[in-house]
Amino acid sequence: MAKRLVAHVGHTVILAQTTYIMKKAFSVLFVLTALVLAVTSCKKGDTGPQGEPGTANVIYSPWFKPASYKRDTIYGVWGYNHNEVAPAITQHVLDSGTVLTFGKLLGYNASVWPEGQIGQLPVTVSYMQGNLQIDTWQAYATAGNLRIRFTNNNNLYTSITAQHQFRYIIIPGGAPTARMAQLSYSELCRKYNIPE
């Protein structure tokens, strides 16, 4: 009987040791599994929606009023030009970006061009003054310069008023400029936080 008791006690000690080892192994296995899951589930997050390329670099000029225009004649039609120094218009901008020019044509009667209206050049203004008059305002950007050019189909004007105002907005390369050019002036200003 004493032999049996010792054997039973010995078996209990072995069983207790085995249980202890298994609990310890389970704890270690649990910690290792948690670490493996933590490491493998940690990955770089999904890429969020991308902003417009180059939008942080949008440049805009202040509104400027040409004080004078120089007269020229091309194919019998005279026009008036103003050259505005524009150092932000670089060759790189011309090669890879877009220059949009806007005008407030404040020299017209409000029934022809309402006060506060802003148009993207080229702008054609048609009205009757004796006969049909067609005024065309265009902008030509070259490195360091923005030229505003005005023509009238009947050579009606002998001078241009200094009330008209213009500004340019440069959208750098990489931005979807075709879509930007379709936005109204107000939409463009809201999109790029440009004071109107």
pLDDT per residue over 130-175, tens digit each?
A: 899 999 999 999 999 999 999 999 998 999 999 999 999 998 876 5
Say whether both 105 and 172 belong to one domain: yes
In a domain, 45, yes or no: no
Q: How confident is the model at residue 122 (pLDDT cuts 50, 70, 90)?
A: very high
Q: How confident is the model at residue 14 (pLDDT cuts 50, 70, 90)?
A: very low
Say whether both 141 and 61 belong to one domain: yes
In a domain, 49, yes or no: no
pTM (two decimals): 0.67
CA proximity to 79, closest of 11, 138, 120 = 138
In a domain, 48, yes or no: no
Q: Whole domain around residue 18: which residue ranges?
A: 1-33
Say whether both 105 and 178 belong to one domain: yes
In a domain, 50, yes or no: no
Give the per-residue pLDDT at 23.
58
Say whether both 12 and 59 belong to one domain: no
Say whether both 133 and 180 belong to one domain: yes
CA proximity to 144, closest of 196, 92, 81 = 92
Q: How confident is the model at residue 33 (pLDDT cuts 50, 70, 90)?
A: low
Domain count, the chain: 2
In a domain, 99, yes or no: yes
Say whether both 66 and 118 belong to one domain: yes
In a domain, 46, yes or no: no
Q: 131-142 and 144-152: which strand pairing? A: antiparallel
Give the per-residue pLDDT at 57.
79
Rounded average pLDDT over 9-16: 43
